[in-house]
Amino acid sequence: MTNTHNYDWAIDRDYCGQILRGRYSTALKKRVASYISLFRNINSTVNPTIPYISAWKDSVDRSIWYEFVGTRLLMLLQCQSCEAAELFRDSIHKRCSFEFSDDNSIIKEILLKENLNGIRGKLRDQVKNTGNVEAVYKVELRDNSSVWLKDQATLETFPDDGVCLSIGALTDVTREMELEEQRQQEEDKLRLSHAELEKQLEKQNKKLWQTQLDIVYRLAQAAELRDNNTGLHLTKMSYFCNILAKTAGLNSTKSTLLFHATPMHDVGKIGISETILQKPGKLSSNEFEIMKTHSFIGAKLLSGNDSPLLKMARTIALTHHERWDGTGYPNGLSREKIPLSGRIAAICDVFDALVSQRPYKNAWPLDTAFAEIKKGRGTHFDPHLVDLFLDNKAQFKNIHSRFSM
Ligand SMILES: [Fe+2]
Ligand SMILES: [Fe+2]
């Protein structure tokens, strides 16, 4: 391990290394001396690359020192060569490394100063494993300006001496990195404004949805008022249908949609004369035929818009008077050919009509109304839905008492 050769020729007044003067192997000293000789030749302040030889011991104290460092780095840091290693380490503000991923895209890893200090040992081990370094450092200078230096180095290990050498060059890539930073900032700005736009769009869509609900609800209410009904019928229909839809297994999106679409079931009554709508006694067969057209009129009023809300409202308006046995109107559909939303609305509509007070009738007691629904099981109404309806009487009673005047 002791030095038998003299490498004094490689030691100049700027030499602040430890190897050439220390008790290290000839192989290591020879290597360091030959690199110093080579780097002195290419070292010049006009050369954009800064050659260096750094070293550290692979033991507990792993601090780095320079065996050689290019003049240009000393000028940038405004320091002597023996201060350079420590000062350079403390001036690194950011470290970026680039790697190719499996799909050939570039993965950029950025470490900021505060995170760097804790993982220098880990980075050193990574470098030792790969045998080379390629990273870009943002270095803050004494005059508060900064430069970007690209570091490319090869590692040589000397196990007998417990020393690692990093033979490398730093290249000034400030211009390229500043452009990259600018591009990044623009990208961040774009991403932010995109997110802001999306937020605004979501807000507007919500507002549009509320407006849509409001308009159709007012229209439905206008139709109900002409029929001597109160708005409460619509509110109760929403809740009743929502309960029945949930118990029938509809997901929350569909049952919520049904909640909002149901109030429009009789919107077609806008097209029926008040003489018929408000006639206290039984309708003549001719009047009943006219009354039946409210399903078609409603469906027509709600057609031509493909929003899920209006599509469901249209289906309900068209089919809420169909009957399970096929004797309903307007199309005489039977069983599952009647859309589920129409079958649900049919039960809830009849139930609420029975339990509500009207100018021409008293409200039926709840149990009598439940019995009437049961009577229509398999003829007027979907038998399975009637079972679910009767299994959940408590919920329907609760809604009824909450909204009855
Ligand atoms: Fe109706
Ligand atoms: Fe109704």
- If you measure from the C-alpha of residue 353 to the centroid of ligand 2, how many angstroms do you get, rounded to a whole number? 7
Other CB atoms within 10 A of residue 307 CB: 12
- If you measure from the C-alpha of residue 189 to the centroid of ligand 2, how many angstroms do you get, rounded to a whole number? 53
pLDDT given at position 330:
96
Name all domains of the chain by residue range, CATH numbers in brackets. Answer: 8-174 (3.30.450.20), 200-403 (1.10.3210.10)
Distance CA 49, CA 28 (A): 25
- If you measure from the C-alpha of residue 295 to the centroid of ligand 1, how many angstroms do you get, rounded to a whole number? 7
Cα dihedral value 24, 30, 33, 34, nearest 10 = -160
Chain centre to alpha carbon of residue 216 = 32
pLDDT given at position 395:
95
pLDDT given at position 60:
65
pLDDT given at position 228:
66
- CA-nearest of 153, 146, 152, 141 to 181 is 146
- If you measure from the C-alpha of residue 80 to the centroid of ligand 2, how many angstroms do you get, rounded to a whole number? 92
Q: Which ligand is nearest to the CA of 316?
A: 1
Distance CA 315, CA 89 (A): 72
- If you measure from the C-alpha of residue 266 to the centroid of ligand 1, how many angstroms do you get, rounded to a whole number? 5
- If you measure from the C-alpha of residue 346 to the centroid of ligand 2, how many angstroms do you get, rounded to a whole number? 9
pLDDT given at position 405:
63
- If you measure from the C-alpha of residue 265 to the centroid of ligand 2, how many angstroms do you get, rounded to a whole number? 7
- If you measure from the C-alpha of residue 296 to the centroid of ligand 1, how many angstroms do you get, rounded to a whole number? 10
Give the pLDDT of the chain (405 residues) as one tens digit per residue.
444 567 888 888 889 899 999 999 999 999 999 999 989 888 765 677 899 999 998 776 678 899 999 999 999 999 998 899 999 999 998 888 877 677 766 677 788 877 777 777 777 777 777 778 788 999 999 999 999 999 999 999 999 999 999 999 999 999 988 898 899 899 999 999 999 999 999 999 889 888 888 888 888 888 887 776 667 889 999 999 999 999 999 999 999 999 999 999 999 998 999 889 888 788 999 999 999 999 999 999 999 888 898 999 999 999 999 999 999 999 999 999 999 999 999 999 999 999 998 777 889 999 999 999 999 999 999 999 999 999 999 999 999 998 876
pLDDT given at position 1:
45
The answer, yes or no, to whether the previous bond of 280 is cis (omega within 30 of 0) is no
- If you measure from the C-alpha of residue 79 to the centroid of ligand 1, how many angstroms do you get, rounded to a whole number? 91
- If you measure from the C-alpha of residue 308 to the centroid of ligand 2, how many angstroms do you get, rounded to a whole number? 21
Q: Which ligand is nearest to the CA of 352?
A: 2
- 352 to 220, 234, 359, 396: CA distances (angstroms): 16, 10, 15, 10
- If you measure from the C-alpha of residue 264 to the centroid of ligand 1, how many angstroms do you get, rounded to a whole number? 9
- If you measure from the C-alpha of residue 320 to the centroid of ligand 1, how many angstroms do you get, rounded to a whole number? 6
Q: Which residues surround ligand 1, an ion (CB under 5 A)?
A: 266
- If you measure from the C-alpha of residue 256 to the centroid of ligand 1, how many angstroms do you get, rounded to a whole number? 21
- 295 to 285, 320, 379: CA distances (angstroms): 17, 8, 20
pLDDT given at position 323:
98
- If you measure from the C-alpha of residue 360 to the centroid of ligand 2, how many angstroms do you get, rounded to a whole number? 16
- What single DSSP character describes residue 143? T
Which residue type occupies 127? V
- If you measure from the C-alpha of residue 391 to the centroid of ligand 2, how many angstroms do you get, rounded to a whole number? 23
